[in-house]
Amino acid sequence: MSQSQYKIHFSDVSRVFDSPARGSEQITAISKLELGIQQSEIVSIVGPTGCGKSTALNMVAGFDKPSTGSLLLDGHEIFAPGPDRAVVFQHAALFPWMNVYENVVFGVKSQGMPRAEYEEKANTFLRAVGLRKFEKHYPYQISGGMQQRVQIARALIGSPEVLLMDEPFGALDYQTRILMQQLLLELWQEFKPTILFITHDVSEGIFISDRVVVMSSRPGRVRLEVAVNEPKPRHLEFLTSENFVGLEHQVLETVQQEIMAARAAA
Ligand SMILES: Nc1ncnc2c1ncn2[C@@H]1O[C@H](COP(=O)(O)OP(=O)(O)OP(=O)(O)O)[C@@H](O)[C@H]1O
Ligand SMILES: [Mg+2]
């Protein structure tokens, strides 16, 4: 039975890859990762490129497995992807031949959700992400930020308990990115999913999260964890508050040290 009080629990997790380019040599992407994420918590991971952030997220998604250690979801080992976890990537992987509405309902439709239910939910989520009027548009007819909102609506329509986001706003301009962060927090307020969010943008991580985790240079493990003690919903004033600036300084300093360590090792 469940031994973990966490929604997601990495315990002594390592992931070693075979490296085809280097003959029999192996790459340890993650080593001894310890991280527990509570139900409905928003946790961001930041860290140098190649430190194992996506590897960690992919294992929670069920796309990959730890080499050693245990990774639990609700106290159970993760075997495969499932509708309880939705993934949002940096680049919206929409079906180009389907319009916005069809893209949003595709997953739940193939899982057998009744038509009346998915129609109603599609309306709710398209309205929530501000795309109700664009439901007949095809991906090429809408902007990158709008495509990303389609991806979020598609992720939320199946009521996932866990939202896994791998640099979801990385390709967006600054203003759109801030709007998306606020939208994500509004959606969280309503549905309270557990969110694991990867970003290179330290201020984005602090703005949206309950906790920010800095991963070390490869092999990735937790180098620093900071709690963001700021109530949600959050307002733009938070971005210029003393609390925010202090956290940002602390996190940036550690990330910088790890980037230097990664460079020195390369
Ligand atoms: N399938 C794979 N086979 C071999 N090596 C892999 C594989 N997936 C990841 N790696 C290696 O594991 C390490 C971590 O990769 P990962 O993609 O998790 O990093 P990341 O922190 O997400 O980086 P970025 O910030 O650039 O997205 C890298 O050295 C990468 O080359
Ligand atoms: Mg990555």
pLDDT the model gives residue 176: 82
- How much of the chain, in percent, has pLDDT values that exceed 90? 79
C-alpha distances in Å from residue 218, one per residue of 26, 42, 164:
13, 24, 21
Counting atoms of ligand 1 from 1, which one is nearest the CA of 20? 4
Our mutation pick for probing the ligand 1 site, out of 28, 55, 164, 167, counting the most ligand atoms within 8 A of Cβ, is 55
- Ligand 1 pocket by Cβ (under 6 Å): 17, 19, 27, 29, 49-55, 218
Q: pLDDT (tens digit, 9 = 90+) per residue, 155-182?
A: 989 889 999 999 999 888 888 889 889 9
Q: What is the mean pLDDT of residues 211-224?
A: 95
Query: Which two three-digit tokens encode residue 154?
Result: 């598609």
Average of per-residue pLDDT values in the chain: 93
Q: What is the mean pLDDT of residues 139-162?
A: 92
Distance 237 CA to ligand 1 centre (A): 36
Q: What is the mean pLDDT of residues 5-12?
A: 97
Cβ partners under 8 Å of residue 40, min gap 6: 7, 192, 193, 194
pLDDT band with cut points at 50, 70 and 90 for residue 42: very high
Whether this prediction's pTM lies above 0.85 is answered by yes
Asked whether residue 83 carries a pLDDT value surpassing 50, the answer given is yes
Ion ligand 2 neighbours (CB, 5 A) are 54
Asked whether residue 76 carries a pLDDT value surpassing 90, the answer given is yes
Say how far apart CA 239 and CA 245 lie, in whole Å: 7
Q: What is the mean pLDDT of residues 253-263?
A: 93
pLDDT the model gives residue 177: 87
